[in-house]
Amino acid sequence: MEKKNRLTKREYFDKVYRHGKSAANHQFVLYYKFQPQLASFRFGVSVSKKLGNAVVRNRIRRVLKEIVRLNAARMPRGYDLILIARKPAAQMTYHEMEKSVFHVFKRASLLQKKEEVPRRD
């Protein structure tokens, strides 16, 4: 994930938690806040120690970042986004996680339509 798309500082997380909106499903909670000065989006992940040891938490974090990186064109511009993993996420495969992440983004009405990529024949 590119550095410009990372939500890094604690103060940024706190602003999104305090002043942002949220949407959730059984596996994830999405907090989001519109930032008109942003040209792109910024993304952060939060995984509690309740989900497992460091190996489990880091795997969830890596998979979520990869899902967002591969679908960056579909992410909303000008938003700070925080994805919080819940307990069921620890047992999910990559494709189940991807489907659940898209579901929570759709619940928040933030996911943009998939653009057709021209084929090279």
| pLDDT tens figures, 100-113 | 999 999 999 998 77
Distances, alpha carbon 47 to alpha carbons 57, 107, 113, in Å: 6, 21, 28
Strands (E), the chain: 21-24, 28-34, 42-47, 79-85
**In the prediction, which pLDDT does 117 show?**
46
**In the prediction, which pLDDT does 38 show?**
87
Q: Residue 39 gets which letter from DSSP?
A: S
Q: Residue 93 gets which letter from DSSP?
A: -
- Decide: 46 and 85 in contact? Cβ < 8 Å: yes
pLDDT in tens, 40-81: 999 999 999 999 999 999 999 999 999 999 999 999 899 999
Query: Considering the chain, what is the average pLDDT of its residues?
Result: 90
pTM: 0.87
Q: Which residue has the higher pLDDT, 4 or 62?
A: 62
**In the prediction, which pLDDT does 115 show?**
62
**In the prediction, which pLDDT does 5 show?**
87
